[in-house]
A and B are shown apart, each in its own frame.
Chain A
Amino acid sequence: MTQGPAPVLRAEGQVTPVLRAEGLVKTHHGEGAPARAVRGVDLSLRPGEFVAVTGPSGAGKSTLLHLLGGLQRPDAGRIWLDGTRADEWSEARWAVERRKRIGIVFQFFNLVSNLSVADNVELPALLAGVPPKQARAERTALLAELGLDGKDRSLPGELSGGEQQRVALARALVNHPPLLLADEPAGSLDSKGTREVMRLLSRFHNRGQTILLVTHDARLASAADRVISFFDGRIADDAELDATPTRGTGISGVLELTD
């Protein structure tokens, strides 16, 4: 755990979850019948966990992520971030807390199109009160780490999708948030870009970053060590994945040569 506050020990062996939610409910009221996107979700993320939420489109998994990141307000239920009650925060308070506590990457990157790559990454640091010199140092280090050397002055529109998503990742991590939320981060990338995102998420996870990933792509989800299957607004299954296959054949049987 190199980033964020150290986990607070409550009692022997009990660690405060980075994120906890209880009884979350959200109904969308648009045209037509109300859509019950999230129908009573309990969830807890331990520090350093990498959890993927998968399910068909329309299952409500993006709504769930938005509730957890304070981008939408739940109709019912409670949320704690590092043990602090968060669902009662005002919009303004969420905006401030999010800068420090939560990094978010989206499917369509959501970079500021008329700001350079460097400014996109530094902005959240400056808004959080980090001295400009330090913000610049953080930005340089992250961009180098993500293989974006020499792209500082480019505008987002001049970069490939995969590169833009890496900039978005740098922006999300510039303040070393304890929690990273990723909403279909490879949803608009080709398979090379998908592998790249997968590799980077795994790399940050290996350094202790807590990650909640929402994806319909099982390949991406398999990078996580816990997979939650989300159906019709509810958790249908919550499984810790073992790295070793349960059956003997497993990986050595990728190709079967008979005869």
Chain B
Amino acid sequence: MRLPLLALLARGPAHGYELKQDLEQLLGSAYPQPNIGQVYVTLGRLEKQGLIEGEDVEQSSRPNKKVYHLTEAGQDELRAWFEKPEDEPRVRDEFFMKLALAPQTGLADQIALINRQRRQYLTTMRSLSKLAAAENRDNRIAHLLIEGAMLHLQADLDWLERCQEELEELEGLE
């Protein structure tokens, strides 16, 4: 959450609760319900690292709130973030380990493993469809995020299909 918070502060000073709301609005229902405590803890860390600075602002009827702004070091950190491409996503290796090791244990059937994993993916896919249908049509960012998750799942499902084809072919030869 560090860099997204810095990125939001690049626009101008804001306090913790505003930042939480900004994130929610930007990412819509695809966002994992931000925890305000986590936001404050992260802001505290960023301040300690000198990437942001906070200023207490007095409020008449409530305790002071802290408004943060980006420092120059914070700007640099953010620029470096944008300049660096991200690692590609990893194949679901835990499932693959199960698939690879199942035959020698005699405890699980490979096709049954594939079927169970497929049900899991399809169920998640269905949840994503519902999420997309419920999300505000105008929130492009949220829709792109959900679509990205669906395309990843589609690839995982295609790969399960490949595994199944290959294994059933082997079974046929035996």
Chain A residues with CB under 8 Å of chain B are 55-56, 191, 198-199, 202, 217-219, 221-223, 227, 229, 231-232, 236-237, 239, 241-247, 250-259
Query: Contacts A219-B154, A229-B115, A232-B168 hold; do A254 and B123 have CB atoms under 8 A apart?
Result: no
Q: Is B110 an interface residue (CB 8 A)?
A: no
How far, in whole Å, are A11 and B97 apart by their CA atoms in the complex? 48
Output the least CB separation between B85 and chain A (Å): 18
Tell me, rounded to whole Å, the shortest Cβ–Cβ distance linking B152 to chain A.
Answer: 10
- A251 touches which of B115, B119, B124, B168 (Cβ 8 Å): B124
- Provide a sorted-by-A list of 12 A–B residue pairs whose CB atoms are within 8 angstroms: A202-B133, A218-B154, A219-B125, A219-B129, A222-B122, A231-B164, A231-B165, A243-B130, A245-B124, A254-B30, A254-B31, A256-B32
What residue of chain A has the Cβ atom nearest to residue B161's Cβ? A56
Binding site for A on B (CB under 8 A): 1-2, 4, 27, 29-34, 42, 111, 115, 118-131, 133, 145-147, 149-150, 153-154, 157-158, 161, 164-165, 168
Contacting pair B127 A251 (CB below 8 A): yes
Contacts A56-B165, A223-B129, A246-B120: A254 and B145 contacting too (C-beta < 8 A)?
Answer: yes
Distance between A173 CB and nearest chain B CB, rounded to angstroms = 21
Total A-B pairs in contact (CB under 8 Å)? 96
Q: Is the CB of A254 within 8 A of B120?
A: no
With A218-B154, A232-B168 in contact, do A254 and B128 touch (Cβ < 8 Å)? Answer: yes
Nearest residue (CB) in A for B116 is A237
With CB as the reference atom, state the residue of chain A lying closest to B160. Answer: A229
Name which residue of chain B comes closest to A242, CB basis.
B123
> Hey, which chain B residues are within 8 Å of A229, CB to CB?
115, 118
Report the minimum CB–CB distance from B173 to chain A (whole Å): 13
Query: In the complex, are the beta carbons of A252 and B33 less than 8 A apart?
Result: yes
**Contact partners of A198 in chain B: CB under 8 A:** 129
A191 to B148, CA, bound (A): 12
Q: Is the interface of B mostly helix, strand, loop or mixed?
A: helix
A255 to B120, CA, bound (A): 18
Asked if residues B124 and A237 are in contact (CB atoms below 8 Å), the reply is no
Whether the pair A255, B129 counts as a contact (CB closer than 8 A) is no
Q: Contacts of A219 on B, CB cut-off 8 Å?
A: 125, 129, 150, 154
Instruction: Determine if B111 and A236 form an interchain contact, defined as CB atoms under 8 angstroms apart.
Output: yes
Residue of B nearest to A234 (CB): B168
Q: How far is the CA of A259 from the CA of B34 in the complex (A)?
A: 12
Q: Chain A nearest CB: distance from B1 CB in Å?
A: 5
B161 to chain A, nearest CB (A): 5
* A220 to B153 Cα, complex, angstroms: 12
A218 touches B153 (CB 8 A): yes
What separation, in Å, do the CA atoms of A45 and B120 have in the docked complex? 23
Chain B residues positioned under 8 Å from A243 (CB to CB): 126-127, 130
How far, in angstroms, from A212 to B145 measured CA to CA in the complex?
29
Residues of chain B within 8 A (CB-CB) of A55 are 161
Q: Are B133 and A199 in contact (CB under 8 A)?
A: yes
Which chain A residues border B164 with CB–CB below 8 Å? 231, 236
Find out whether the CB atom of B123 lies under 8 angstroms from the CB atom of A246: yes
Q: Tell me which of B126, B145, B150 contacts A255 (CB under 8 A).
A: B145
Q: How far is the CA of A253 from the CA of B146 in the complex (A)?
A: 10
Q: Known pairs A218-B122, A222-B122; list 20 more (Cβ under 8 Å).
A: A55-B161, A56-B161, A56-B165, A218-B153, A218-B154, A219-B125, A231-B165, A232-B168, A236-B164, A237-B115, A239-B118, A241-B126, A242-B123, A245-B127, A251-B124, A252-B32, A254-B131, A254-B149, A259-B1, A259-B2
